[in-house]
Structure 1
Amino acid sequence: MRLRDLLSSDETQAPADPRPLRLLRLPGGERDLDRPVLGTVTIDLPDPGRFVSPGDLVLSGLAWHGRSAGADAGAGTDAGAGRSDAFVRVLVEAGAVALGAGEAQFGFVPDDLVEACARYGLPLLAVGVEVPFTSVTEYVARGRTEERIGGLAALVDRHRRFSTRQQAGAGSEALLELLLAELDLRAHILSPTGRQIAGARPPLPEKTASALAGRFLAAEREGERAPHRTVARGTAFSLFPVRSGTGEGDSAPRAALTDWLIAVEADCTDWNDERVDLLHQLARLVTVERGGRDTDRTMRRRAAERLLALVGSASAGEGRQSPFEEEEAAARLTAGAAGATGAAGATGREGPLRWQAVSAQLETKGQHGSPVAASVRGLLEEVLLHPRCLGPDAGLRMAVTTADGAGSGSRSGDGVEAVAFVLVREDARLTPDAVERVTGGSLARGLRAGQRLAFGVSDPVGGAAELRHALAQARNARQVAAPSQPVAACGPDDLAAHVMSLLPLIPAEVRREFSRRLLAPLTDYDRRYGSDLVPTLRSFLEHDGSWARCGEALHLHVNSLRYRISRIEALTGRNLSRLEDKMDFAAALRMG
């Protein structure tokens, strides 16, 4: 903004116009009108020097002048002239761009002040009684902000074009800091799990970041228009999406579960369109930068794909692969890992390195279409990159691929599977609890009705030759992961927790048929006579066969309960005093 932008004109002046400032003295001629105004300061102290910065427009009500309120403009005093001279001299020394003198104190601007400004070469403006100083200050601040937005938008555009050509991979962090410093904003780039990728320091608390990511995913799931506004820990946030691009060109709907977000610590409700658009441009730039980062994973993805093909074909008995092929494929994955030399089992800087396999599946039921394979892979990568899972340098110690072979177990019902091979130390293994903590907060809020995320984690193994066992272990664990939960993770220990945990490993058709044939006599009887034999059976088993506790829970006399149990036994030909029959009924109720 320049000084001429503050002067009134007959064409633009209006009652609400904050610019009716009259030019009283312009010692340097027309060129003084091009002086840049960098800010404003309102001061009525006789010595304003320490409050004025170079480029400031100084606004003063002239309370320091000391003349009588009713005196004429020319009826000055030696004291008043001395004060004016000293005041203007200090402003010039401090680098002030101009003085705006208020007329409310005397009804005019004293002549000795006009002469002092002329003597020191300081442009002088008269601020009318009808113009509050706050209007001038807000007008200058708004103009400066618009100028910065315009300049920063051009910078974003230039950087975007450069990044597109050069595929630069780290520029978004520096540009984010520059933009937000200029706009006086704090912001954070977050992953869908709440991992902080870049932004203000100190970083957000983990729970706050996870809550913001969850709010963002929920808003995207509902199709709300961005930016999304929310409040966390008493602070207003505006959430801008950073699209992952996953699924573009695919017939399946794009999954927002892999999108990043920019969380700005401000309410964008009152922002103008230019300011909102600048943040959207920044988000698009981060998308380009993210694409550059993703290219770094391409080689590891290909190596993981090759290793999965070898492990899968060996497990299916399709030919005989040399163990050296698996070792070679595994060595490609360890090549970039910090401290790793050769295949797993070697000793790195932090101790022996071992393998773990992870299986992830995004299950869909209903009218959502099949999930895009690449989005499931990207989702598993985002989960494993969270510090709670693999710690620092996770990207160098993991490789993720999609499992799309017919016999690979990649599909189960309506789900698509992704598989990861990760390098860990024995004392820092990946656990199902860590995966569940990372995924259970934000990702659960982004799932649509009928969608479910299941993860299986294997035990660590020593070498590539054991990966087929680790992969089978991870897949089995994934299949038993709490089917009633939208997001769940299991490990090998869960397979031995209870015999009921093995039920998901039985084919779905077999489970349904077993449950139907055993319980059909009871369901038919309940439907025909309006009885409650199936609920009674369930309660009886849940109370460990205790007649008293089951009768109390059902509000039944023990004799009535005994009659119902006898009807169940007569209809099914089973005996509820036998352990085997109790287990069959429990399994049928669980699978029904």
Structure 2
Amino acid sequence: MQLRDVISSRLLRLVDDGRAGRADRDGDDGLDRPVHRTVTIDLPDPRRFVSPGDLVLTGLIWLRQDPERPDAYVRILVEAGAAALGAGEAEFGHVPSALEEACTRHGLPLLAIGVNVSFTSIAEFVARRQAGARVGNLAALVDRHRRLTTAGGTGGGAEALLELLWSELDLRAHLVSPTGRLVAGTRPALPEETATALAARFLTAERSRRRPPHRTRVHTTAYSLFPVRSGPGAGAAPTDWLVAVEADSGDWPGEHIDLVERLAALMAVERAGRHADRAPGRRAAGRLLGPLESPAGGGVAAPSEAAARLATTLTGADGPGDGVRWQPVAARWETLTGGAPVADLLEEVLLHPRCLGPDAAHRIAVTATGDAGEAVAFVLLARGEELTSEAVRHVAGAALPLALRDGERLSLGLGDPVEDAADLRHAVAEARHARQVAAAPRTAGTGPASSVGVCGPADMASHVMSLLPLIPAEVRRAFSRRLLSPLYEYDRRHHSDLVPTLRSFLDHDGSWARCGESLHLHVNSLRYRISRIESLTGRNLARLEDKMDFVAALRMH
């Protein structure tokens, strides 16, 4: 902004020092000088605090203490590059002539500040006008970045866009994935806990269809969350990223919000470019999955050749080197409301550094399968490395459940790592079996329910009951019905509690004392109920096989 813009605010007026009369001769009345900021100071020697372009505001207390000081004071301001001097009239009731004459001698514009005008109001006016100008400058830079990316050039990426926001508007911002992965951001970097909390709150707000930006607070810091859609022009999706700006946008002017939304739209373009960079790996993963799914497996050579091509695509012309292994991951999105981009969501989970470290983008390839809602990922592992179900469960279960609607469930299964591509067929089958186990709904006694389930090889081997989901649903229901229906029917007719008694007896490992205490029953009463259960079902609860059948039937019911 220029000095004439400050005068036009009517907060200050130009003291008639004769400069306007000379404007016809030298073409300079000082009003075109740029003003960068205001500085308020009443020290007799202000040189340490004045920078080029400053509008210096003073209450003239120093002048009453040293009436001979005006000439030296003005000379210091001119040498420091000050744009003008604003003198308050409260101390003397007017601007002293000695100061006016000094400003005339040294060519420094002098402004009078009336007693009813506060220095704060002047500083706020300059700051607001400067902010508006900076928004305009940033908007021009954003347009330039958009033109560069549209023309196939490079605008510097998401990091450059966020740096523009910081350098031009002093706004710290961070680009975060729906799993809480920090994609880019200004320093200091967001802690993982904060990034995950912001992703969770963003997904909650998006699911409720609230209009962005979404305002929230983590600990003592306010954030405004802007969506970065999965693609330019795309609608809201669980795979959307977010821009988290460290500020409360509630009192922002419209142009500020519009500017950040334009930045977010540009980041969507950047994201689409990253997605396109991984397209060769997706195609190579699809060519590998094909022979693994075919009845004959395409022969041993076909998967081996496809795996070698995928490894080269991911790691470069030299290939991955010796000692690498493959680990498949299967995912499925069970939904009542249509399909979902499960391949993109699986990729987001595996890209989180908690799963595979910071270089995961060059070690995973995800492909959608012929089954709607399913995807398979091939992960390239170094010697001794393994993707664990614990890490995947932590990442997938932190924020993603908040993106799922009623009736939706995301399940992920991990296969064992294999060195030979010929073993990938079995590893993929194992990953899909594990995914089926993860997809099975929780029942009483098996832990809390969740809309996101993860299962790995270690989970599959931990308990025989983990294999129940691999049995077809209709077979499970028929088995449970045949074994338990006499008990349910007896309870219905006699208003008794044989089924709850059976469940408690099994939960207490067949202990008469602990089960009786839990049910507030005398042991003799408990024995009577158990004998009635055995009589109705023809089973013997002293036998291990019959106990396991009852446990399975109750969990499958």
Q: What is the TM-score when the length of structure 1 is the normalising length?
A: 0.88
Amino acid in the other structure paired with 1:503 = L
2:395 to 410, 415, 438: 438
The verdict on how the C-alpha distance between 1:298 and 1:53 changes in structure 2, with shifts beyond 3 A counting, is same
The separation in 2 between residues aligned to 1:167 and 1:87, in whole angstroms, is 52
Which residue number in structure 2 is paired with residue 361 of structure 1? 332
Whether contact under 8 Å (1:495, 1:501) holds in the other structure is: yes
Per-residue deviation, 1:167:
6.1
How do 1:400-415 residues align onto structure 2 when only pairs under 5 Å count?
400-404=366-370, 410=371
SS class of match (2:60): coil
Structure 1 residue runs of 5 or longer lacking an equivalent are 9-17, 68-78, 249-253, 405-409
Amino acid in the other structure paired with 2:466 = S
Which residue number in structure 2 is paired with residue 559 of structure 1? 524
1:532 to 489, 497, 514: 497
2:408 to 441, 451, 464: 451
The separation in 2 between residues aligned to 1:364 and 1:152, in whole angstroms, is 42
Whether contact under 8 Å (1:102, 1:126) holds in the other structure is: yes
Per-residue deviation, 1:162:
2.2
The verdict on how the C-alpha distance between 1:362 and 1:31 changes in structure 2, with shifts beyond 3 A counting, is farther
Query: Structure 1 residue 228 and structure 2 residue 214: aligned?
Result: yes
Per-residue deviation, 1:202:
2.8
2:240 to 253, 259, 266: 259
How do 1:501-540 residues align onto structure 2 when only pairs under 5 Å count?
501-540=466-505
Whether contact under 8 Å (2:288, 2:310) holds in the other structure is: no
Per-residue deviation, 1:257:
2.0
Query: Structure 1 residue 330 and structure 2 residue 307: aligned?
Result: yes
Query: Structure 1 residue 297 and structure 2 residue 288: aligned?
Result: no
Query: Structure 1 residue 66 and structure 2 residue 73: aligned?
Result: no
- Between stretches 223-232 and 44-53, larger displacement belongs to 223-232
SS class of match (2:333): strand
The verdict on how the C-alpha distance between 1:574 and 1:61 changes in structure 2, with shifts beyond 3 A counting, is same
Amino acid in the other structure paired with 1:364 = T
Which residue number in structure 1 is paired with residue 166 of structure 2? 180
The verdict on how the C-alpha distance between 1:142 and 1:565 changes in structure 2, with shifts beyond 3 A counting, is same
Query: Structure 1 residue 577 and structure 2 residue 542: aligned?
Result: yes
Q: What is the TM-score when the length of structure 2 is the normalising length?
A: 0.93
The verdict on how the C-alpha distance between 1:470 and 1:45 changes in structure 2, with shifts beyond 3 A counting, is same
How do 1:126-141 residues align onto structure 2 when only pairs under 5 Å count?
126-141=112-127
SS class of match (1:46): coil
Whether contact under 8 Å (1:217, 1:256) holds in the other structure is: no
Runs of 4+ deviating beyond 6 Å: none
SS class of match (1:32): coil
Whether contact under 8 Å (1:226, 1:239) holds in the other structure is: yes
Which residue number in structure 1 is paired with residue 50 of structure 2? 52
Which residue number in structure 2 is paired with residue 251 of structure 1? none
2:190 to 180, 185, 204: 204
How do 1:370-409 residues align onto structure 2 when only pairs under 5 Å count?
370-372=338-340, 375-404=341-370
Per-residue deviation, 1:460:
1.2
For residues 151-209 of structure 1, what are the alpha-carbon distances to aligned partners after superposition, in whole Å with 9 as ceiling and x for unaligned? 21122122113212316484231121122121112111111111111111231111111
SS class of match (2:418): coil
Which residue number in structure 1 is paired with residue 80 of structure 2? 94
Whether contact under 8 Å (2:162, 2:186) holds in the other structure is: no
Per-residue deviation, 1:110:
0.3
For residues 500-558 of structure 1, what are the alpha-carbon distances to aligned partners after superposition, in whole Å with 9 as ceiling and x for unaligned? 11000001111112112221122222222322111111001101111111111011112
- Between stretches 130-139 and 570-579, larger displacement belongs to 570-579
2:136 to 126, 150, 154: 150
The separation in 1 between residues aligned to 2:267 and 2:30, in whole angstroms, is 42
Per-residue deviation, 1:493:
2.0
The separation in 2 between residues aligned to 1:243 and 1:33, in whole angstroms, is 46
Query: Structure 1 residue 420 and structure 2 residue 411: aligned?
Result: no
SS class of match (2:43): coil
SS class of match (1:392): coil
SS class of match (2:534): helix
Query: Structure 1 residue 279 and structure 2 residue 236: aligned?
Result: no
Query: Structure 1 residue 479 and structure 2 residue 436: aligned?
Result: yes
SS class of match (1:256): coil
Whether contact under 8 Å (1:19, 1:136) holds in the other structure is: no
Which residue number in structure 2 is paired with residue 73 of structure 1? none
Which residue number in structure 2 is paired with residue 468 of structure 1? 425
The separation in 2 between residues aligned to 1:341 and 1:555, in whole angstroms, is 71
The separation in 1 between residues aligned to 2:15 and 2:376, in whole angstroms, is 76
Query: Structure 1 residue 195 and structure 2 residue 181: aligned?
Result: yes
Whether contact under 8 Å (2:34, 2:53) holds in the other structure is: yes
Superposed CA RMSD in Å reads 2.0
Residue-pair matches, total: 542
The separation in 2 between residues aligned to 1:577 and 1:429, in whole angstroms, is 42
Per-residue deviation, 1:323:
3.1
For residues 234-264 of structure 1, what are the alpha-carbon distances to aligned partners after superposition, in whole Å with 9 as ceiling and x for unaligned? 211111111113995xxxxx66321111111
